[in-house]
Structure 1
Amino acid sequence: MDDWLRAALDYVPRWIDFQVQHLDQPGCSIAVAHKGEIVLEEAFGTANLSTGEALTPRHRFRVASHSKTFTAAGILKLKDRGLLRLDDAAGTFVQGLHEEAAAATVQQLLSHSAGYVRDGADSGYFADLRPFLTAAQLREELALAPPLPAGQRFKYSNHGYGILGLIIEAVTGEHYRDWIMREIVGPAGLSETYADIGLMREGTLASGHSTRLPFGKRLVIPGNAATADLASATGFVSTAADLARFFSQLAPSSPAALLSPAARRDMTRRHWRDNESTLERYYGLGTISGSVAGWDWFGHSGSFAGTLSRTAVFPAQDIAISVLTNAIDGPAQLWVDGIAHILKTFEKNGPPAAEVADWAGRWWTLWGAVDLVPVGNKVLACPPALNPPLSEVSEITVTGLDAGLITRAPGFNQAGEAATRMRDAEGEISQIWLGGVRLVGEFAFAEEAAGRYGA
């Protein structure tokens, strides 16, 4: 592993831990893979607020629409084997569909351009109000004309991926869950991943949680509903580490043999732009893609009752990041992007030089926390509450053991002023001064503030 990556991975958990507390989230599990191998895996917070159970990396999460990427990989494997073509019509395999729905191609279903209804007339299963749809119910809803013509635009459809699951069953003669576990999950080497909750025979499921409003507190959502014949769209259960491993294998340059390189290129390239979104994002075949901090990525996100999750692969850097949160307002996307910003900062500046490495730490003032983060031959000072992290930084050039100069800073900060470390009688650093701003350690600050304002 490169030294810059090792240094970045040392800061990532400290930033995420602060963010979980700062945003009052129940919990978060993260994993980072480099060249297909897990190089960071940690969990923060609580698996269930009602019991206080600590969240661990081994807790399983409902990862919802990540399921679509597994399903797409299954379809592409069948294509690689010559058992179907992407321009085959859905009606070739699934009977009872409206003629327009039946005419949509497998590729249009994979890329969400078939014009299908998103979730049908009553999507209460995603709000934990009713059971997920069976194959018969799915066919019944898709016997109605689709809202839009096929091939017109990107239009997300869980029903479309339900049909892809039925196509897998029609081609293989097996139940979707059995085939996808044997042909995709197993060969990918995933020991903590299941195509639906009913297949989970070991491990503990992290509970989901509601938003805090309007209840005044977060409600615990079990998140244990079986997804019936929408498992191919939203049923999967997994861990951050398994998702990072799986998605790494979909990079076109990956040495993994799960799919052919041509199939991986087709899955991860940009087929459709989401023209109506303010975000610059695209959809491929079971993958979302975009760019963050100048790094191109592909991956997927997922939202189930009480959880939000996201995984992104950065092919040029050979890095995959997965973030799973157990609250419906969990900022999984923002945290994946934030981790990418941290990695890019260290890639650009390099690991900390020996003369600045011991400046690392978190310090407090009434205005909040400030992290000192050594990179290259300088020290960055930035509040960990910010996202992107390491943005709006002041740069400190170290000039002595405990002395430095703020050589770059935003106009409202202390550019050109001194940065000084103060030591106590035992020689331990007890204060940091950035210009005229005094910062102290967390416990010292808490004690000072409590004495001043009461607690």
Structure 2
Amino acid sequence: MRPTRIRMRRACVAAAAAGLLVTPALAGSAYGATVRVPSASAAPSPSGDTEFPQLTPAVAARLDAAIRQVMDLTKVPGVTVGLWAPGKGSYVKSFGVADKATGAPMTPDLGVRIGSETKTFTVTALLQLVDQGKLALDDPIGNYITGVPNGDRITLRELAGMRSGLYNYSEDPGFDAKITSVFTPQQLLDISFKHPVNFEPGAKFEYSNTNLILLGLLVEKITGRPLHEVIAQDVVGPAGLSERTVLARGTDFPEPHANGYTNDLPGGKIVDATHLDPSWAWAAGAMASDLQDLRSWAKTLATGTLLTPATQAERLKTQPIGIIPGDGYGLGIFNVQGWLGHNGSLPGYETLTVYLPEEQATMVVLLTTDDLYKGQEPSTLFGEAVTGIVTPGHLYPGHKPVETK
């Protein structure tokens, strides 16, 4: 069922680990004059950003070629890539189109839906309540919300760390036919809870959007405020982000934004999914943002600016997910070869936002499609192409690239 993939059913690391990877060294040579070269719009370093002059022309040219090669392979309509690495420089560039109907170019100022990156905001709101003494990570969810299977034994830590065993509602066999419907959080839980649990709490890792719906409801119950207000007032505002980073309600999100395209809706044809209501994703994936806000958020998330050091340390205690040796998932965050962050995917959009503490580097990738390329998430291919050139010692997602033909 293709639509279940877009509902963030797989772990970001699992998605990154599987499938074909692109060889940056081949970019510009393997395809030669036959490569389709999308239009590109370069953005200068942000005003006053003297810390990050642009990369050298030679390195930027290599990145241009690698990104164009991935774009040619994946047929992504539009992509924006941002990279900021102290001592190396910055790279901010958009390729392709933001609107296939008008041909309007993709530009770095356009917002997108960020899918599962929403989880990083929801879990941050939860952890702030832990810091305030209103919750404890090892509290059972059943202490706060009734009717949860194994709720007397599933802890908040296990929900945030994807180890609850609860069935992922977006895997339900009938869910794909309802993707254009409007859901309440309780309706999503009802879909999950009609299925038996998959395993005992804490037994293993399994990505489940159900976990985040429960945490969103918990945040609302403890704060007495709607989740969109909590995220705006307690997370987005204190993090210094703009009003363009928002938990979307209804079909619209802040302008200007790029249009998103998918072939994962019922019918299997490529359609414009820009104004699809994301209520089915809610606390697990309904947010929107833009390049500069995500650039800032990457470091805030990885360094724990909004949390106490002790709580941030708990967040970063990753457990293996059985895909890439040494990598793992913490509390709403992954660690892939030293890159800390999350990715997101939902109809029409994919994003990747990560921070590398060892080099204080940030990478953000924004795409206007979630369509797979040979079973592989396109955001992973772009991330691998960029890191293979700029941070080869920390290759995202950690595989040796496979040559493409």
Aligned pair partner of 1:249 in 275, 300, 311: 300
Paired letter, 2:358: A
Quick check: 1:335 aligned with 2:382?
A: yes
Provide the residue aligned with 1:209 in structure 2: 261
Distance in 1, Cα, partners of 2:280 & 2:222? 16
Paired letter, 2:158: Q
Check 1:152–1:132 CA distance in 2 against 1; reply closer, same or farther (3 A cut). Answer: farther
Higher relative contact order (CA 8 A, sep 6+): 2
Q: After the TM superposition, which residues 358-397 of structure 1 pair with which residues of structure 2 at under 5 Å, given as runs?
A: none
Distance in 1, Cα, partners of 2:104 & 2:198? 45
- Residues 50, 220 of structure 1: 8 Å contact kept: no
Structure 1 runs, 4 residues or longer, greater than 6 Å off: none
Give CA-to-partner distance per residue, 1:280-301, whole Å, 9 cap, x none: 641110012121xxxx111111
Q: After the TM superposition, which residues 170-249 of structure 1 pair with which residues of structure 2 at under 5 Å, given as runs?
A: 170-191=221-242, 192-196=244-248, 198=250, 202-210=254-262, 219-228=270-279, 230-249=281-300
Q: After the TM superposition, which residues 222-301 of structure 1 pair with which residues of structure 2 at under 5 Å, given as runs?
A: 222-228=273-279, 230-252=281-303, 257-270=305-318, 272-275=319-322, 277=323, 281-291=327-337, 296-301=338-343
Distance in 1, Cα, partners of 2:162 & 2:135? 18
Aligned pair partner of 1:149 in 200, 203, 207: 200
Q: TM-score, normalised by structure 2?
A: 0.74
Check 1:124–1:260 CA distance in 2 against 1; reply closer, same or farther (3 A cut). Answer: farther
SS state of the match for residue 48, structure 1?
coil
Provide the residue aligned with 1:106 in structure 2: 156
Distance in 1, Cα, partners of 2:92 & 2:53? 18
Paired letter, 1:284: G
Provide the residue aligned with 1:131 in structure 2: 181
Distance in 2, Cα, partners of 1:154 & 1:22? 32
SS state of the match for residue 363, structure 2?
strand
1:236 to partner: Cα distance: 0.9
Distance in 2, Cα, partners of 1:22 & 1:42? 18
Quick check: 1:116 aligned with 2:181?
A: no
Provide the residue aligned with 1:73 in structure 2: 124
SS state of the match for residue 101, structure 1?
coil
- Residues 66, 385 of structure 2: 8 Å contact kept: no
Distance in 1, Cα, partners of 2:177 & 2:82? 28
Gaps (5+ residues) in structure 1? 348-386, 393-455
Give CA-to-partner distance per residue, 1:280-324, whole Å, 9 cap, x none: 641110012121xxxx11111111012222122111000110111
1:122 to partner: Cα distance: 3.2
Larger Rg, first or second structure (1 or 2): 1
Distance in 1, Cα, partners of 2:94 & 2:177? 26
Distance in 2, Cα, partners of 1:107 & 1:340? 31
Distance in 2, Cα, partners of 1:186 & 1:12? 33
SS state of the match for residue 159, structure 1?
helix
Check 1:142–1:118 CA distance in 2 against 1; reply closer, same or farther (3 A cut). Answer: closer
Distance in 2, Cα, partners of 1:5 & 1:264? 32
- Residues 283, 289 of structure 1: 8 Å contact kept: yes
Quick check: 1:96 aligned with 2:147?
A: yes
Distance in 1, Cα, partners of 2:275 & 2:176? 12
SS state of the match for residue 311, structure 1?
strand
SS state of the match for residue 218, structure 2?
helix
6-15 vs 145-154, greater mean Cα deviation: 6-15
What RMSD, in angstroms, separates the aligned Cα atoms of the two structures?
A: 3.3
Quick check: 1:169 aligned with 2:169?
A: no
Quick check: 1:302 aligned with 2:344?
A: yes
1:10 to partner: Cα distance: 6.2
- Residues 32, 241 of structure 1: 8 Å contact kept: no
Quote the sequence identity (%). 26
- Residues 267, 285 of structure 1: 8 Å contact kept: yes
1:181 to partner: Cα distance: 1.0
Distance in 1, Cα, partners of 2:54 & 2:90? 13
- Residues 251, 265 of structure 1: 8 Å contact kept: no
Check 1:11–1:258 CA distance in 2 against 1; reply closer, same or farther (3 A cut). Answer: farther
Check 1:82–1:250 CA distance in 2 against 1; reply closer, same or farther (3 A cut). Answer: same
Distance in 1, Cα, partners of 2:70 & 2:135? 46
Check 1:207–1:124 CA distance in 2 against 1; reply closer, same or farther (3 A cut). Answer: farther
Quick check: 1:20 aligned with 2:62?
A: no
Paired letter, 1:57: P
Paired letter, 2:262: S
Check 1:89–1:6 CA distance in 2 against 1; reply closer, same or farther (3 A cut). Answer: farther
- Residues 181, 194 of structure 1: 8 Å contact kept: yes
Distance in 2, Cα, partners of 1:140 & 1:149? 20
Quick check: 1:326 aligned with 2:368?
A: yes
1:138 to partner: Cα distance: 3.1
Paired letter, 1:131: S
134-143 vs 314-323, greater mean Cα deviation: 134-143
Across the two proteins, how many residue pairs are aligned to each other? Answer: 338
1:116 to partner: Cα distance: 0.8
Distance in 1, Cα, partners of 2:107 & 2:213? 31
- Residues 120, 301 of structure 2: 8 Å contact kept: no
Gaps (5+ residues) in structure 2? 1-50
Check 1:89–1:142 CA distance in 2 against 1; reply closer, same or farther (3 A cut). Answer: farther
Distance in 1, Cα, partners of 2:54 & 2:170? 48
SS state of the match for residue 114, structure 2?
strand
Paired letter, 1:259: L
Check 1:209–1:228 CA distance in 2 against 1; reply closer, same or farther (3 A cut). Answer: closer
Distance in 2, Cα, partners of 1:30 & 1:244? 11
Paired letter, 1:155: E
More strand by share: 1
